[in-house]
Structure 1
Amino acid sequence: MVYENPDGVMVGLEIHVQLNKLATKLLCGCSTDYHTSEPNTHVCPVCMGLPGCLPVLNKRAVEYAIRIGLALNCEIVEQTQFHRKNYYYPDLPKGFQTTQYDYPIVSDGRVVIEGEDGEHVVRIRRAHMEEDPGRLMHMGSIDRSKGTLIDYNRSGMALIEIVSEPDMRSPREARRFLDKLRNILEYLDVFDSTLEGSMRVDANISIGGGDRTEVKNISSHKGAERALLYEIMRQKNIKRRGEEVVMETRHFDEARGVTISMRTKEEEHDYRYFPEPDLVPMRVGSWVDGILETLPELPDARRSRFISDYRMVDTHAKALTSDIRVADFYEEVASQVDPAAAAVWVSDVLKGELNYRDLTIASFTVEDMVKIIELVVGGKITEKGAVEIIRNILDEGGCPMGIVKEKGLLKVEGDVVDQAVEEVLKENPEALEDYFAGKEKSLNFLVGQVMKKTRGRADARSVREMMLEEIDKNYR
């Protein structure tokens, strides 16, 4: 199958990843633990850009950048250098941003995602280090704001800006790329995705080979997908009117689901890049081998190991390794119960219940999952009863055995089920006639009535077998 792209959609992303697992900022000693602090309390003369203050580079930030580059199958440059990117904006008090220009630390990589027509390669053009500006808080939407507040706590935080080639062909592929990238970064343990501002996206999009627009500072993966969907619609409408799409920078208003024009797109020469005189060039080529040895098992490698070691299907392996916390949770469960059963219950059932409630795997314990699987595999409760226990724990709390006793979920067998089967057949002669007439669904109805009488505590497969035996014995 070849994916057809009739509108010629081309999407490239610039992703700003905040290295918030560092103890201090990129160029000064201010703490990175600012997210719950009062505004403008994690600042110093360096990150505020006061005259005469000299930066000192955080070595671990450079190591993190190399780790990211290796995980993205990139080339690591032998020598890298910082530049000053000159522009004035209220969240940048010193009037320039310390960044990298023509010597980025990382380049020429690739990430494989699940595309519209199977596996799809997204090329990484470059990834470079830079400092984060402060945070602007508008009083209302950006185009209708009555005022703007500035918090400089974020100013100077270490960032990696990852720039892709325009290889994505739909908003869905863009979201999948972002999900895969976040997954890789979490495995590397270089950032915490749960913190505000940890990953921000600039999306570049064009259709039909026309001029591109850039949508700035999108704060979520879902928001990126929505912004791109809106831009495709907006650009197609412009072309239908016989007009040309203007190359510009736009803002995505999440509340209204629309993009808003901010300014015409700047070119590189507008920023007057020049080498940062207070930071010397760095030779980092000799660091690579040592850092490569410390890389953890990454998502694709873990997925392959799950398939080979635990004999699970690829869909389960993908679901379990798409979040490092879920993968760790599964391996703990699988070390205590049958790995195949654990794969089904964690990937298909537990993840579904968590997603429905917008909860994370931290909302459930390994001990409870192990106990539930043991009860099902041991024939003590039905699969329906197990799902009820999971839902009860998530919604109201409790422990598996306590819920089993409280709700009477122990599986019923023998005479109780026999009696229920006999009663259902006597009470539903029409359904029995339909079954004899060749309507297979009527048998499902009869089994369902037995499950209803036993309050879901009978095994559905066993009930079906008993039902057929009883029909053959007494109703033929």
Structure 2
Amino acid sequence: MTATAELMDYDDVIAAFDPVMGMEVHVELGTVTKMFCGCATAFGAEPNTQVCPVCLGFPGALPVANAKAIESAIRIGLALNCSIRPSSQFARKNYFYPDQPKNYQISQYDEPIAFDGYLDVVLDDGTEWRVEIERAHMEEDTGKSLHMGGSGRIHGASYSLLDYNRAGVPLVEIVTKPIVGAGERAPEVARAYVTALRDLLKALDVSDVRMDQGSLRCDANVSLMAKDAGEFGTRTETKNVNSLKSVEVAVRYEMCRQGAVLQSGGEIIQETRHFQEADGSTSAGRRKETAEDYRYFPEPDLVPVQPDSAWVEELRGTLPELPWVRRARIQAEWGVSDEVMRDLVNVGAIDLIIATVDAGAKPEAARSWWVSFLAQQANSREVELSGLAITPRQVATVIGLVDEGKLTNKLAQQVVVAVLDGEGEPEQIVADRGLEVVRDDSALQKAVDEALAANPDIAEKIRSGKVQAAGKIVGDVMKATRGQADPARVKELVLAACE
């Protein structure tokens, strides 16, 4: 760790304290419209173009709850093994920030729609850990403040801009019960939980769970209590950690920072903290409010949410196969090791590979393309694997052209790059560029004869039995045909010509 704050050695923290965590994950739902109005939710629109009197909090503008968002919240609750409340109430959470135009947020307080669940997560060594869920409640997102000039934070900024496009976007906040007993594995448990939760939400198709775009945001609450202490220590809340690895790093850093404070006789301040991606540290934000500070009261403009029990059971029937159960089944079908499967999961390739196989490709070829060449392309283009501008169907088409012998692997890579660059469908690119493998033996024979004539010494070596020398001639022919020859066929012609 390279932070400036004094840190306690991690092993010493574990020897002296028991870490306690609480994870709060905000999920932006993938609805077409906002939680309480008909404004669009598309990411990346021009600032303040997706707003209306309701989400801007104009006097007299009345909210109407989004039915699809309620359905998504119930499905999330069911997938997390929660009870679904027969009647849940929206509340006003009052606070006065410039990114909340109404000066209150419509949320749920003492009557969340889902409560008392759990999620079993698997750690790196295969150990299963149960994280208990306190609640999953519905609310609306806030707008976005842009602090111009300086570091990007409000301190030192010349001025601030406000974009209310995000204000009112449907959210589900998932709150765990205190996670205790993890000891030295606490940071790993935190990462494993958010990873499993992200995978589950993606499988439910309720959100795109893009942490880089804020669709999934994690707040990590951390405290330390002395060994055998009867009550928890004071917690801090590290806000909006935006990657899975950063969740682990932030928890570990807070444990070491708090340990140093307590070891020196200091007191932990209940506050929000900001995670610094550059060095993995956290910095102080604002003093953390309590529930009383928000002055919750029932939202007078919305009726309670009372889902019919038959509808809830109908939604239970729509739950997909759990991602980890699906992965175990796929792993058995593919016959790959645990290590290989972990690598596929870590690069985000599983669903892409499965979709490519479903589109007609062989599993081994699909795995090879996504974790090698396409992964390299994602790195060079600085996007996630799933963000590449190519579909599994298109990848399967390219693999099929290779299997049919119409493309070599190198030609196929050219086609894939062209698809990524927006040139069209694979078959059209092959036709437009004239990339199909040359099958005309007469044309290949001519290229072989010319290459042998240009390299008489190599030709003599081949005739004397040094077959490996044919590689030079094959390479020349491939160059002459712009890589469109079948290397195996070229080698056959070279050896036949030298008999």
Alignment TM-score, normalising by the size of structure 2: 0.70
Post-superposition Cα deviations, 1:131-158, rounded to whole Å, max 9, x if no partner, equal 1121111222243333322222211111
- The residue number in structure 1 matching 2:316 is 292
Q: Does 1:64 align with 2:80?
A: no
Which secondary structure does the structure 1 equivalent of 2:122 belong to?
A: strand
Q: Residues 98 and 276 of structure 1 are in contact (CA less than 8 Å); yes or no, is this contact kept in structure 2?
A: yes
1:283 is matched with 306
CA distance in 2, matches of 1:153, 1:223: 27
Do 2:26 and 2:171's aligned partners in 1 also have CA atoms closer than 8 Å?
Answer: yes
Structure 1 residue aligned with 2:84: 76
Q: What is the CA deviation profile of residues 222-247 of structure 1, one whole-angstrom value per residue up to 9, with x for unaligned ones?
A: 44344334323322332342323222
Contact 1:30 1:44 in 2 (8 A): yes
Q: Which amino acid aligns with 1:153?
A: N
Q: What CA distance in whole angstroms lies between the structure 2 residues aligned with 1:368 and 1:87?
A: 49
CA contact (8 A) 2:37 2:54 kept: yes
Judged with a 3 Å threshold, the aligned counterparts in structure 2 of structure 1 residues 42 and 372 are, in CA distance, closer, same or farther, namely closer
Question: Is the Cα contact below 8 Å between 2:407 and 2:437 reproduced in 1?
Answer: no
Deviations 1:57-80 (A, max 9, x none): 111111010111122222212221
Distance in 2 between residues matched to 1:342 and 1:55, nearest whole Å = 51
Relative to structure 1, is the Cα distance of residues 370 and 400 closer, same or farther in structure 2, using a 3 angstrom cutoff?
Answer: farther
Give the direction of change, closer, same or farther, for the CA distance of 1:24–1:369 in structure 2 (3 Å limit). closer
Q: Which residue of 1 aligns with 2:376?
A: 353
- Give the distance between the partners of 1:236 and 1:253, measured in 2 at CA: 19
Aligned with 1:46 (options 41, 51, 54): 54
1:24 corresponds to: 33
Question: 1:264-289: CA deviations, max 9, x gaps?
Answer: 22222222222112222222251211
Q: 1:158 aligns with which of 166, 170, 190?
A: 170
Deviation at 1:129, TM superposition (A): 0.3
1:186 aligns with 202
- Secondary structure at the aligned position of 1:9 is classed as strand
Find the aligned partners of 2:325 and 2:268 in 1 and give their Cα distance: 43
Given that residues 407 and 435 in structure 2 are in contact (C-alpha distance below 8 angstroms), is that contact kept between their aligned partners in structure 1? no
Secondary structure of residue in 1 paired with 2:267: coil
Deviation of residue 261 (structure 1)? Answer: 1.8
User: Residues 80, 153 of structure 1: CA spacing in aligned structure 2 closer, same or farther, 3 A cutoff?
Assistant: same
The answer to whether the Cα contact below 8 Å between 1:116 and 1:173 also exists between their aligned partners in 2 is no
Q: Check the 8 A contact 2:33/2:39 in 1, yes or no.
A: yes
Give the aligned partner of residue 174 of structure 1: 190
> 1:80–1:284: 8 Å Cα contact kept in structure 2?
no
Q: What residue in structure 1 maps to residue 222 of structure 2?
A: 205
Shift in Å, 1:208: 4.2
Matched ranges for 1:298-447 at <5 A: 298-315=322-339, 326-333=350-357, 336-337=360-361, 339-342=362-365, 344-346=367-369, 348-350=371-373, 352-354=375-377, 356-357=379-380, 358-359=382-383, 360-361=385-386, 362-364=388-390, 366=392, 369-370=395-396
Supply the distance in 2 between the matched residues of 1:203 and 1:322 (Cα, whole angstroms). 22
Q: Is the 8 A contact 2:356 2:366 kept in 1?
A: no
Q: Offset of 1:403 from its aligned partner?
A: 7.4
Q: Distance in 2 between matches of 1:323 and 1:70?
A: 28
Question: Given the alignment, which residue of 261, 266, 273 partners 1:250?
Answer: 273
Unaligned runs of 5+ in 2: 1-10, 227-232, 439-443, 445-451, 463-467, 479-485, 489-499
Cross-structure match for 1:148: 160
Give, in whole Å, the separation in 2 of the partners of 1:452 and 1:272. Answer: 80
Do the aligned residues in 2 keep the contact of 1:368 with 1:400 (CA within 8 Å)? Answer: no
Q: C-alpha distance in 2, partners of 1:393/1:23?
A: 28
Equivalent residue for 1:227, pick from 250, 253, 258:
250
Rounded to whole Å, the distance in 2 between the matches of 1:180 and 1:454 is 50
* CA apart distance, 1:395: 9.6
Give how far 1:334 is off: 5.5
**Conservation of the 8 A alpha-carbon contact between 2:27 and 2:209:** no
Rounded to whole Å, the distance in 1 between the matches of 2:124 and 2:348 is: 25
Amino acid in the other structure paired with 1:282: V
Q: Equivalent residue for 2:132?
A: 123
CA distance in 2, matches of 1:396, 1:54: 44
Partners of 2:46 and 2:198 in 1: CA distance: 25
Task: Report the CA distance shift for 1:124/1:32 in structure 2 as closer, same or farther (over 3 A).
Answer: same
Bigger drift between 377-386 and 284-293 goes to: 377-386
Moved more, 62-71 or 218-227: 218-227
- Give the Cα–Cα distance (whole angstroms) in 1 for the partners of residues 242 and 205 of structure 2: 20
| 1:163 CA displacement | 0.9
User: Which string of whole-angstrom CA distances, capped at 9 and with x for unpartnered residues, describes residues 185-207 of structure 1?
Assistant: 22222223347331222111123
Q: CA deviation at 1:389?
A: 9.1
* CA separation of 1:10 and 1:451: change in aligned 2, threshold 3 A: farther
Give the SS at the match of 2:213: coil
Match of 1:283, SS state, is coil
Write the distance in 2 (CA, Å) between the matches of 1:176 and 1:403: 45
Match of 2:229 in 1: none
Asked if structure 2 preserves the Cα contact closer than 8 Å seen for 1:371 and 1:400, the reply is: no
Residues 84-95 of structure 1 mapped to structure 2, 5 A cutoff:
84-95=92-103
Shift of 1:53: 2.5
Give the match's secondary structure for 1:206. Answer: strand
**Unpaired stretches in structure 1, ≥5 consecutive residues:** 411-415, 425-446, 460-476
1:352 and 1:238 mapped to 2: Cα distance?
A: 43
Contact 1:85 1:99 (8 Å CA) reproduced = yes
Q: In structure 2, what is the Cα distance between the partners aligned to 1:31 and 1:334?
A: 33
Shift in alpha-carbon separation, 1:391–1:113, aligned structure 2, 3 A: farther
Task: Tell me the distance in 1 between the aligned counterparts of 2:207 and 2:363.
Answer: 32
Give the CA deviation at 1:404: 9.0
SS at match of 1:79: coil
Aligned-partner SS, 1:215: strand
- Contact between 2:26 and 2:172, CA under 8 Å: does it hold in 1? yes
> Number of residues paired by the alignment?
429
Please tell me whether the aligned partners of residues 353 and 370 of structure 2 are also in contact (alpha carbons under 8 angstroms): no
TM-score by length of 1: 0.73
CA separation of 1:42 and 1:377: change in aligned 2, threshold 3 A: closer
